[in-house]
Amino acid sequence: MNLEYKERRRAPRVDVRGRANGSITSVIEASLINLSTVGALLEHTEALIPDHIYQIIIRLGDKKVRVKARAVRCFASHTITTRGHKIII
């Protein structure tokens, strides 16, 4: 078994572990359950990290409102099974 790896990238990568940081942004579809001036309840299928800041986009007709929010509590309220996969909500 040949374990040699042939590099196929157009440019070599440089190892920067520990010397640089980054972030990943993802889109999580959510249902807005309720809303107040100091909080909101959203239902979604992805895990959030308590105390992290997230950007929430609330769609009101053809308008979008973007707000930053801190996840204060995040818990699984129920599970469903779809296409053979268990989803925690």
pLDDT at 62: 94
pLDDT at 86: 62
Counting as low any pLDDT under 50, the low residues of the chain are none
Q: Quote the pTM value.
A: 0.60
pLDDT at 77: 75
Neighbours of 7 (CB within 10 A): 7
DSSP 3-state of 60: strand
